[in-house]
Amino acid sequence: MKEFRKLDKDGSGEVSKDELAVALRDVFPGVNIDELMMVFDTDSNGKVGYSEFAPLSKVISTFEQFDTDSNGLISREELKAVLQRLDPNFSDQQLDELMTSIDFDVSGSLNIVEFVMYVADYSDELGIKLEQTAAILAGDTRKAKAEVIELS
């Protein structure tokens, strides 16, 4: 994921929807930018400001970490590998249930929007920020704890 400043081509201090689309479509062909904006444009001004970009960047880097073959999709097996690393008791049945609830287009894999929705739902459930959940999923517990402390 490119740096905020590189995406903000006109230097306005915010990344417009078009600037984001150009950057993300390279990596995630067919990505639905509107759905991402609904999650990350928290002040609903139609642009992604610097503070809104941090969680987006974190979630994308977590996605890329899950996507071990770098094909822009998280397969069932790639998801399983990560979740079993976090919880060795995570079963195939739990994996099936999870996939059923988050693989909205029933493609058998997660695209970036499906992954974002999953992280957002999980954050709501835990009552923490999106980027903290992404850090936990990324196995970066030191960072996750630091962010929880910062929050409290």
8 interacts with Ca ion by CB under 5 A: no
Residue 149 is encoded by which pair of tokens?
């402390």
* Neighbouring C-alpha atoms within 13 Å toward the C-beta of 22: 9
69 interacts with Ca ion by CB under 5 A: yes
Instruction: Name the one range near Ca ion by CB under 5 A: 15-23, 84-92, 94-102, 107-115.
Output: 107-115
Least separation in angstroms between CB 148 and Ca ion = 24
Distance of CA 69 to the CA centre of its chain: 17
Which DSSP state fits 73?
A: S
Print the binding letters for residues 22-61 with Ca ion: x by CB under 5 A, - otherwise: -------------------x-x-x-x-x------------
Instruction: Name the one range near Ca ion by CB under 5 A: 5-13, 62-70, 126-134, 135-143.
Output: 62-70
Which DSSP state fits 70?
A: -
Which DSSP state fits 69?
A: T
